[in-house]
Structure 1
Amino acid sequence: MFVATPLHAAAMTVYKTATCGCCSAWVEHVRQAGFDVEAIDVERARLIEYKREAGLDQRLASCHTARIDGYVIEGHVPAADIRRLLEERPDVAGLAVPGMPVGSPGMEYGDRVDPYRVIAFDEQGGMRIFAEYGN
């Protein structure tokens, strides 16, 4: 008998530094959205290595890097976009929110939401807009 599982049943591993409060807030955001998350605190040098190993273009870098079901999630990507990624399964390496835009998950500051984009990227360096916020 086939039993359907939630789209976000795959475990997510998040690599972050121990002192990053916005990383911890983002981890809480994805947990509250129903994702099973293992957060691993690493030294900054090791975090940079994880990004490099993931093939992440440094223009897409943020403060934490996650892996889920074969995809890389970089930075403050909304949980809804991760869920959409896992549902649609596009031929991309992952999603990124470059930098740390105010108003993105984990970077809340009152009602302020600076415009930001979620970028889908592939292993050949291609990038496209996956979602836009605050416009």
Structure 2
Amino acid sequence: MTNDVTNTPEKTPADTPETTSGGRIYRPLADIVETAEGVTLNLEMPGVAADDVDITLEKRVLTIRGKVQPTAPEALQLAYAEYGEGDFERSFTLGDDFDPDKIGAEVSHGVLTVTLPRLAEASPKKIAVKSA
């Protein structure tokens, strides 16, 4: 099947997974930054408000879900769409060296930032070397 406007193949359900409610689920793009203090995840989740983000940590698996509230322009009929609306979901397996009580998250301009601080005893320590 092709799209009449661009002559490109349309996505099939196999290409874009669907939920039981019929909506699409997208895997958000992520940047991962690692420092001595911990790890920061930056996930692209356009259209997701802070109240619509659900983050869980169970058995070292951090699961991030974002629900998008559908938008439809009033009194306008969509002629063509390249942007597909849907929810977001992504999971990460964490090591044992993160402090689950200090994980933080913030949404700003469509980007979810999740901070994963390391446990104090897991942080690298600098050893001073003396000359004899």
Q: Compute the TM-score of the two structures, normalised by the length of structure 1.
A: 0.24
Q: Which has the higher strand share?
A: 2
Which structure has the larger Rg?
A: 2
Q: Compute the TM-score of the two structures, normalised by the length of structure 2.
A: 0.24
